[in-house]
Structure 1
Amino acid sequence: MRFASALAGAARRCLIVDDETSMRAVVRRLMQAEGFECLEASCGAEALEIQAATPSPLVLSDYHMPGMDGAQLLTQIRARWPETAVVMITAVSDVDLAVRCLDAGALDYLTKPFAIEELRARVVQALEKRRLLIENQSYRSELEARVALQARKYEELFLAALQSLAEALEVKDSYTWGHSTRVSRYAMAIARELHVAPALLNELELGSRLHDIGKIGVRESVLNKAGPLTDAEYAHVMEHPVIGWRLLAPLLGDMPHALAVVRSHHERFDGHGTPDTLRGHEIPLEARITAVADSFDAMTSGRPYRDGMHVEDAVIELRRCAGSQFDPTCVAAFERALATGAIPRPDRSVQRQTRMQIVA
């Protein structure tokens, strides 16, 4: 194999590093005869400067040099230019050192004195190893990218299936049609006002969309009751956070914040909520945010036995319950988002019309 094929399109350039001028001259003549452009350095520090300014795919370096020796130079080159092929040049008595350099990342070594045939063979071998390493790295990167893409596709399908499950619930509970989508929209607006981290935003969006998924386990006669619930019926409905959490825990094990929304969105800031009677900041932030969003939508949405509240009345109720039912910080963030338009004001006439169409 000739140098041209071994370089596979890389610059036909090499850097010769040796503190002996005569040795650099010998190597330079041999390499130039093979068509290489040669750069020279008399020490390791100078070699790093040249490599930084004009990178060479091949470095031929003596081992024994003042200051930075060949092993130290090799370490620096491997760290800064990992695709560079380094061939160490040693005396016969230093073969053990050369072998240690191979272990440290050198692709081959030469022992002094050497002939042109040996130099050619060692350089071709080193460049061929370099080519294979680059190809393997490219293949590995491509494979990792394909695996990541496939994983994203599976995740998208999985999340789409969960969303379909949430939408199926809203068909079962016809009077909350669109509830999960609105709650998610409100929750995200509150979270942005609170400057929540992007990673938490993603889980909050999913958790708020699925927060009522446990109502799949609630009797339809209770969900669609045309009137206020009895205490027993209310207790039955309030089982849905734990039902939803149990349903989703095997599926969202790596999304704890989404699960926290499902389980804890009916906890109260004063500690009198359900299911775990958490208090204050014991309640996960994502659940405190969703509680405000969920309650606002519930108050402004119509039911068979009542119309939804006016927005201003719902805000007054949120403000009244701040510190007892709701986190005051989340209520304040909600009000800011509402004032800026980040949270759209519900259209009560459209809600009443949609509700009547569903009932009909």
Structure 2
Amino acid sequence: MYTFPVQRAAQLKEKPDPKTLVFGKVFTDHMFVMNYDAGQGWHDGRIVPYGPLELAPSAMVFHYAQEVFEGMKAYRRPDGGVQLFRPMDNVRRLNDSCERLCIPKLPEDEALAAIEALVKVEADWVPSEPGTSLYIRPFIIATDASLGVHASHSYLFCVICCPVGAYYAEGINPVRIYVENEDVRAVRGGTGYTKCGGNYAASIRAGERAEEQGYAQVLWLDGVERKYIEEVGSMNVMFKVDGKVITPKLTGSVLPGITRRSCIQLLKDWGVEVEERLITAQELFDAAKEGKLEEAWGTGTAAVVSPVGEMGWNDQHVVVNNNQIGPITQKLYDTLTGIQWGTAEDPHDWVVRL
């Protein structure tokens, strides 16, 4: 049983209007911090007032990007309680990212206890308006004040939280996506399967190009042959083709999404055939022209599922399901959000009540 000292903020913030919450703009009163030093391991976990971190300008995180992070949520149940969704999956994926970036792994139980302890302290920040939640961002940064390309000897593990509104403020509407031909998000052998900032920094330019052309997201191709679908924006992606759901297999350059894993399990529960395999962009556009591309959607923590209504690639353009959300996409969204907010049965014990 882990316990952490709590230093209460001298002055609590005024909480924002839950009807007008914006993602990632307002943060709670407290944060969790824990240090790592070579020879000592992870130590001194504590909850302190949310505030700036003091780092040397030469801190290695600034120069060599040795850092990892996660994204998860706490939800308000109808009975007023608070719960998390598959939090240990996030902790384990954070450690997978740590292993790739040569960051010391966190003790799993202690990391989960830290997240739970912070959410309990900040329980009043978990909003109760429909579709709202408390977003939780655990992250680890290298803190050695040293220049030189090698692993740091000291690190900081932090957890911060922010209340967020419904992802779809005006309803769950299909988006337009654009197949990116020039830039790549990741390559096999790289860091594509991790959650590290470099992956996201590398995606910004293509995202801005897509936005300039009126698209909401980028559909990424593999970095070697430039023909296999990998992800959509910062989400995993799925397609229903001729009655079967297909999704890119985890080749090392695709993030192993927790929402992705949950969707696959639910689809199998419902008797829907799911294939994890290589999928070419041409196969998708051909299927659309033949009337076999029935639905398409992205999956991720922020949106849960994001339906795709149109796809563009070079001079090809297709509409998916008359630009409307499909029945499988809707059922996945309703079921997952029902489990997360405690209004639907949780057959796989994914929820952790606090």
Same structural fold, with TM-score higher than 0.5 when normalized by the shorter chain: no
The TM-score, its normalising length taken from structure 1, stands at: 0.22
TM-score by length of 2: 0.22
Q: If you compute each CA radius of gyration, which structure gives the higher value, 1 or 2?
A: 1
- RCO higher in 1 or 2 (8 Å CA, sep ≥ 6)? 2
